[in-house]
A and B are shown apart, each in its own frame.
Chain A
């Protein structure tokens, strides 16, 4: 029988105390583990999805929104930019590659991206089956979409699967399905820019006829508040509602304008630059000179993560507080256990145990509780992180839920933190055990 068997016997004789202490250690470690795990995988996810994208150019507005919507497909875009902006970038001497993006539709929540085949190369996409889109309304489906080659799909206007504005006048045909890549691409449908543009140009004509058929309120039923069309298109509609006198005169014209615009608009352009030095210079130039906005994903995400940092620090502090509390609980439990077992310890000494051995028994108790608690904490931390990713939709494009369940090197660190807390908590009690004055205890009498 060694220190651990004695410790186990002692812990089992007080199951409630032992369980509470273990739970307290586990709770603290789980909090710490989940927070670090989430922030680490979010940061890694941000980096993975922005790899090969130096600069994003879109309409003026929030640079963070531009990055979130065009790189991570997590937010809605603020508006559109003219197609010729992309054409200019294509021949810019400092730009190695410019990739246009036209967003605004979805299929069952999977976003449709009008772009060029270059977009697939950014993510090193590999085909599970089929091939890249070659003609209008061909679509390549991400691995998570569940689509198969040859399927014909009608997309919904906007970014919500629940939208009721279905583009059923043109069906897309799936020509390729991608292998999982662990990036946003898994949840995207990729097609030519022109497919998206056509659909939206047609959409405006549709509105035109709708409105002449029925009442004016018809507008409200449609998804013009879905942000995906050019801002000034929305402005026109707003104007129409404000100014009913002009309505009949201008409406047809406006929508024709809009249709025309839709054919010549895209949401944003992703840029790969020739030189890292330009990553600082070029966005500044674009922001000063034009009506466009350039944002650097790595910079925006660093700022974003930093602004989240306060919340993260709070949770980390909470977790650390828990671990501290668990340490104090452990201390109290060990000490009260010692007080109860003073005579047990005296007996062990009389039977030949050295003071060091008694200290080791107490230490073993602390290590058992702290170690078991920390391991449980790490397991729970992973589960909590997994649950968090599953319950926050926009995280799923960025963090792979199953990756969160994988053991990490830092898990060992958390178990170490737990053990360290146990060690600290047991220092004083094990010293007490070692220093017990056996003779005085025996002389004083029996418990």
Chain B
């Protein structure tokens, strides 16, 4: 098992105490975290990625207690073994498309395998746009660039936060195809957090989170 979480809970001052179901994710698994906004999906992803120490419970990555590592070591593991796709894609506006993709390697401090960038640009139809800044790219091109960045280093797991909720049906399908293809190609697990019911049937494992912030939701 690559990623195991047990008994996770996050208590923050002035916020509702969140608790989460246990997770067991291995390579090539496709897992969907389904829950309305306010159910703490993003918080759970942060905890799993080593960005937010949980108040209770443990996260194991590759067998090790993730939060027993130093913060810098967690950053290191995250850089090399996790890939991320955000809803807003977030490419850095000051960098070109290929620089944005290479950012994953630069921040992780590890070079991608030879020809990996060219292969991804080619596969995703981004070769002509490699030296454009994000402003000059279409939404679809930005999405593909963000996915390329997430899979560049062939991570163990790709975590996607609401990758489709802002998209129409066609685009949602395209993005999910790409994500699953690329995850499969990289041999990575795929963990998607969303409130988007349209993509439920694509996943073997679906975990449902309750809205834990009912009181605040109004």
Contacts and interface: CB of A to CB of B under 8 A. Distances in A.
A350, A354, A446 pick with most chain B CB within 10 angstroms:
A350
Interface in A371-386: none
Interface string A1-22: 1100010011011000000000
A446 B88 contact: yes
A181 to B, nearest CB: 56
B125 to A, nearest CB: 23
15 contacts: A1-B102, A9-B92, A9-B94, A344-B90, A344-B93, A348-B107, A351-B84, A351-B107, A352-B104, A354-B71, A354-B76, A438-B46, A439-B46, A439-B47, A442-B42
B206 to A, nearest CB: 22
A349 interface: yes
B130 interface: no
Given A1-B99, A1-B102, A438-B51, A352 B42 contact: no
A351 B108 contact: yes
B46 A446 contact: no
A355 B84 CA distance: 18
Contact of B75 (A2, A6, A349, A443): A349
Given A446-B86, A446-B88, A348 B94 contact: no
Contacts of B107: 348, 351-353, 357
B161 A352 contact: no
The 10 A-B residue pairs whose C-beta atoms are closest, nearest first, are: A352-B79, A439-B52, A439-B46, A13-B94, A351-B107, A9-B94, A446-B88, A352-B108, A1-B106, A353-B107
Nearest to B95: A9
B154 interface: no
B91 to A, nearest CB: 8
A343 interface: yes
A10 B79 CA distance: 22
A392 interface: no
B99 A9 contact: yes
A253 to B, nearest CB: 90
B51 A442 contact: yes
B195 interface: no
B218 interface: no
Interface residues on B, range: 35 or more
Contacts of A352: 75-76, 78-80, 82, 104, 107-109
Contacts of A13: 93-94
Nearest to B108: A352
Contacts of A409: none
A352, A356, A438 pick with most chain B CB within 10 angstroms:
A352
Nearest to B102: A1
Contacts of A12: 94
Nearest to B46: A439
B49 interface: yes
B103 A1 contact: yes
Contacts of A446: 86-88, 90
B114 interface: no
A355 B104 CA distance: 16
Contact of A439 (B43, B71, B149): B43
A340 B149 CA distance: 22
Interface residues on A, range: 20 to 34
Interface string A139-180: 000000000000000000000000000000000000000000
A352 B104 CA distance: 8
A447 interface: yes
A354 to B, nearest CB: 5
Interface in A27-70: none
B106 A350 contact: no
Interface in A329-352: 343-344, 347-352
B88 A10 contact: no
Interface string B98-117: 01001110111100000000
B1 interface: no
B217 interface: no
Contacts of A344: 90, 92-93
B94 A355 contact: no
A157 to B, nearest CB: 70
B51, B109, B149, B161 pick with most chain A CB within 10 angstroms:
B51
Nearest to B72: A354
B109 A10 contact: no
Given A350-B49, A443-B42, 9 more contacts: A6-B95, A13-B94, A344-B90, A347-B92, A350-B51, A352-B79, A354-B75, A439-B43, A442-B86
Interface in B150-184: 161
A356 B108 CA distance: 13
Given A352-B79, A353-B75, A443 B43 contact: yes
Contacts of B82: 352
B161 to A, nearest CB: 7
Contact of A350 (B47, B84, B95): B84
